[in-house]
């Protein structure tokens, strides 16, 4: 970061900004020496303002009514899946106004990271906060998963469902207890809530709840939605020219679009574009040279906010993976140069953050973006070898996917395949259905590519569930 610039962090509760407010932000930024705005992973807006102009910029931004932070991490933005409503699958009772109604209850600016999400949508990570409210099957009730820093909070479910009308007050009581009682465990927090909020609206959490496994979302370009369209705008450097954003806001106002959404993938989302207005939006993108339809390998990355070094590594890996013709479409990646809430299936992080020469690669146990159980794939990887190791990991992922249990009809049946030599035959773990492919080997276990299953040592275990070698069966044609 340029020492002559100071970062202003503008919190947009729920990732929802009226176009008039965003236009005002752009005006203030332009008047105070900025050329772009940046977006953050918690649906925030960043301005890099010359240090001498910060007071004037703060005075101008006051009129937006949004919270402005000059210190990193002191206050937290509330993340919601409001932007996903109407364009992705949804829980029936979660409407456009559901999150907005809850946001209106917050009469204080939280220090804890609060997420309000629909579990059926893939756009907004569901477990990237400290207090994660997940819509339940019961209308107006939410599951709560607590994962505050410190012992006793790692993915712990609150014992009961929470009513929508009490979320803000509950969060405030939990936050006060956490910061005043030196980080009490979950039982301490529930006891405090019972004392201070005995009228809390709850419902027994009697049904087993599991978060669905969802594909990585398409979140940029034009897409049909009902009678109209939605548009996602993504920039490789997560930086948006002021002139473009100002014209975007003006077009939104003329089109009677009342809200612009910010996504955790640092992109803009405009919904409810009428079919007749579509040419105007296409012209806007063309005049400002804003591209759409980026490759999936560009979009499925999570990079720390305002981290040029991490951004450069991402750009390098995307380029090298493209040269290797690596299919990364169903996975997502994070660059872990510094601590941040991770909502991806793979993390690349330096062994020594102060001297990023070699890296380790980790992945979630089931390769989803909601699993907190991590496995180390490989350690001590030089930068030059990272793309190759990521390609090996992608091969492992696709090789371990469960086979479809459907038979082809006679009309569509494929001709019989030529049988593989015995040394190339794959074996499958009977516990978790992970497949060992001799052609790929198992780098995490030190097994090189081309190693037949019969030659593996007796101590070999499944890379996913650690099942024994004897529990694998031959996958014959």
d(CA 332, CA 363): 10
Q: What is the pLDDT of residue 183?
A: 63
Residue 21: predicted pLDDT: 94
Predicted confidence at residue 238, as pLDDT, reads 94
Per-position pLDDT tens, the chain of length 477? 566 889 999 999 999 999 999 999 999 999 999 999 999 999 999 999 998 999 999 999 988 888 998 877 689 999 999 999 999 999 999 998 999 999 999 999 999 999 999 999 999 998 889 999 999 999 999 999 998 876 555 678 899 999 999 999 999 999 999 888 766 788 889 999 999 999 999 999 877 677 888 888 999 999 998 779 999 999 999 999 999 999 999 999 999 999 999 999 999 999 999 999 999 999 999 999 999 888 888 999 999 998 899 999 999 999 999 999 988 878 999 998 776 777 889 999 998 888 888 999 999 888 888 766 788 899 999 999 999 999 999 988 888 765 444 443 444 343 444 556 777 788 887 766 677 888 888 877 788 888 898 889 988 888 777 788 888 888 754
Q: How far is CA 437 from the centre of its chain?
A: 30
Q: Which residue from 466, 464, 463, 459 is spatially nearest to 444, judged by alpha carbons?
A: 463
- In order of 38, 134, 165, 215, 398, the CA distances from 212 in angstroms are 31, 12, 26, 10, 19
Q: What is the DSSP string of 258-312?
A: --EEE-TTS-EEEEEEEGGGHHHHHHHHHHTT------HHHHSEE--TT-HHHHH
What is the per-residue pLDDT across 418-464, written as a single tens digit (0 to 9) for each? 556 777 788 887 766 677 888 888 877 788 888 898 889 988 888 77
Contact 41, 302 (CB under 8 A): yes
What H or E segment, with its residue span, contains residue 204?
A: strand 202-204
Going 331 to 335 to 338 to 340, the CA torsion angle's sign is negative
Tell me which residue of 252, 303, 261, 246 sits closest to 280, measured CA to CA: 252
**pLDDT digits 0-9 by tens, 36-85:** 999 999 999 999 999 899 999 999 998 888 899 887 768 999 999 999 99
Q: Give just the sign of the alpha carbon dihedral 361, 121, 218, 15.
A: negative
Query: Cα-flanking dihedrals φ and ψ of residue 365, to 5°?
Result: -60, -35
At 182 the pLDDT is 64
Q: Which two tokens stand for residue 127?
A: 């477990």
> CA separation (Å) from 326 to 124, 265, 317, 331, 385?
25, 22, 11, 11, 14
- Produce one character per residue of 88-116: b if its CB has 16 or more CB atoms within 10 Å, e if not: bebbeebeeebbeebbeebeeebebbbbb
Q: 260-262 and 44-50: which strand pairing?
A: unpaired
Residues 6+ apart with CB under 8 A from 378: 360, 361, 389, 443, 444
Which three-class secondary structure state does DSSP give residue 230? strand
3-state secondary structure of 190: helix
- C-alpha separations of 4 from 52, 154, 237 in Å: 9, 39, 20
Domains detected in the chain? 1-126+211-294 (3.90.480.10), 297-400 (3.30.413), 422-474 (2.20.28.10)
DSSP 307-376: -HHHHHHHHHHHHHHHHTT---TT--EEE-SS-----SSEEEEESSTTS-SEEEEEEETTS-SS---EEE
Q: How far apart are CA 109 and CA 96, in angstroms?
A: 22
For 369-402, what is each residue's pLDDT tens digit?
A: 876 678 889 999 999 999 999 999 998 888 876 5
End-to-end CA distance of the chain: 57
pTM above 0.85, yes or no: no
**What local confidence, expressed as pLDDT, does residue 402 receive?**
56
């Amino acid at each position: 970061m340029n020492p002559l610039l100071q970062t202003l962090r503008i919190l947009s509760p729920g990732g929802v900004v009226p176009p008039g407010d965003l236009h005002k932000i752009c005006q203030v930024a332009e008047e105070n020496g900025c050329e772009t705005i940046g977006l953050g992973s918690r649906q925030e807006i960043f301005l890099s303002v010359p240090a001498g102009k910060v007071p004037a910029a703060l005075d101008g931004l006051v009129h937006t009514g949004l919270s402005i932070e000059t210190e990193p991490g002191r206050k937290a933005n509330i993340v919601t899946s409001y932007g996903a409503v109407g364009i992705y699958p949804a829980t029936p009772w979660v409407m456009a106004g559901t999150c907005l109604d809850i946001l209106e209850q917050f009469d204080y600016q939280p220090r804890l990271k609060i997420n309000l999400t629909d579990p059926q949508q893939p756009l907004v990570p569901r477990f990237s906060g400290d207090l994660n409210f997940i819509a339940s099957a019961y209308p107006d009730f939410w599951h709560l998963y607590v994962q505050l820093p410190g012992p006793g909070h790692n993915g712990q479910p609150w014992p009961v469902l929470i009513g929508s009308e009490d979320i803000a007050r509950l969060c405030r009581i939990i936050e006060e207890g956490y910061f005043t009682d030196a980080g009490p465990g979950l039982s301490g927090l529930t006891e405090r809530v019972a004392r201070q909020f005995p009228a809390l609206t709850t419902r027994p959490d009697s049904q087993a709840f599991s978060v669905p496994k969802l594909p990585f979302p398409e979140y940029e370009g034009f897409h049909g939605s009902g009678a109209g369209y939605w548009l996602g705008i993504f920039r490789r450097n997560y930086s948006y020219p002021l002139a473009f954003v100002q014209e975007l806001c003006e077009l939104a106002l003329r089109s009677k679009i009342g809200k612009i959404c910010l996504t955790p993938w640092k992109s803009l989302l405009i919904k409810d574009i009428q079919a007749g207005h579509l040419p105007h939006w296409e012209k806007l993108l063309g005049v400002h040279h804003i591209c759409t339809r980026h490759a999936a390998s560009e979009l499925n990355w999570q990079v720390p906010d305002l981290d040029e070094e991490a951004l450069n590594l991402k750009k390098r890996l995307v380029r090298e993976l493209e040269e290797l013709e690596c299919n990364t479409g169903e996975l997502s990646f994070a660059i872990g140069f510094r601590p941040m809430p991770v909502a991806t299936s793979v993390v690349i992080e330096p062994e020594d953050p102060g001297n990023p020469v070699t890296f380790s690669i980790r992945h979630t146990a089931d390769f989803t973006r909601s699993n907190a159980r991590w496995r180390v794939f490989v350690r001590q990887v030089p930068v030059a070898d990272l793309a190759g190791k990521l390609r090996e990991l992608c091969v492992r992922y696709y090789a371990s996917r469960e086979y479809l249990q459907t038979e082809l009809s006679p009309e569509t049946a494929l001709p019989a395949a030529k049988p593989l030599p015995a040394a190339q035959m794959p074996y499958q773990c009977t516990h978790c259905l992970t497949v060992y492919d001799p052609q790929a080997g198992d780098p995490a276990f030190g097994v090189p590519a081309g190693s037949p299953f019969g030659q593996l040592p007796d101590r070999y275990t499944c890379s996913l569930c650690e099942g024994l070698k004897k529990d694998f069966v031959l996958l014959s044609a």
